[in-house]
Structure 1
Amino acid sequence: MTTVEIEYCVPCGFRERALDVQRAILTSLERDLDRVSLAMGDHGVFRVTVDGEAVYEKSEDDYDVDGIVRAVRKRV
């Protein structure tokens, strides 16, 4: 099974964004995952990893919840 981590910048106020992504991933893939966790960070970070490998980086990708879910699904 698979572990997903969503790391988000606390000072930037990305918590709601992280919760939206977490909710969307759980809605779509809950039965296929072991864990979806949130990790607090700083310096503008917003990163989604699957088993330690990044599938979304705010600095490299446009923010799209459905796109993030599709990227996670490809790794599951």
Structure 2
Amino acid sequence: MSESTVEIEYCVPCGFLDRASDLQHLLLRTFGERLDGVTLLTGADGVFRIRVGEEVVYDKFEDGNYDPDEVVREVRARL
């Protein structure tokens, strides 16, 4: 995966689709053509994880305090 590709893995049974979709739109609005893509990946077991390239920039299990602005800062630092 390219370093300018973001993956958002979200828990379907938990109802995290709206959160994942909102973040996808925020990242596309913020970075536009600097990103090759922002992909949504379905998951389970409470997952909500964001990767830029192969690097995890947010994982709900490691940091329960989800802040979209912090995710944007982390993505920006890797582009």
Name the TM-score class by shorter chain.
over 0.9
How many residue pairs end up in the alignment? Answer: 76
TM-score normalised to structure 2 length: 0.91
TM-score normalised to structure 1 length: 0.94
Inter-partner Cα distance in structure 2 for 1:25 and 1:14: 17
| 1:38 partner SS | strand
Aligned partner of 1:27 in structure 2 is 29
Structure 1 unaligned regions, length at least 5: none
Structure 2 unaligned regions, length at least 5: none
Which amino acid letter does the alignment assign opposite residue 30 of structure 1?
G
Report the structure, 1 or 2, having the larger strand content: 1
Contact 1:20/1:65, CA 8 A, preserved across alignment: no
**C-alpha deviation, 1:39, in angstroms:** 0.2
| 1:59 partner SS | coil
- Superposition misfits of 4+ residues, deviation over 4 angstroms: none
| 1:12 partner SS | coil
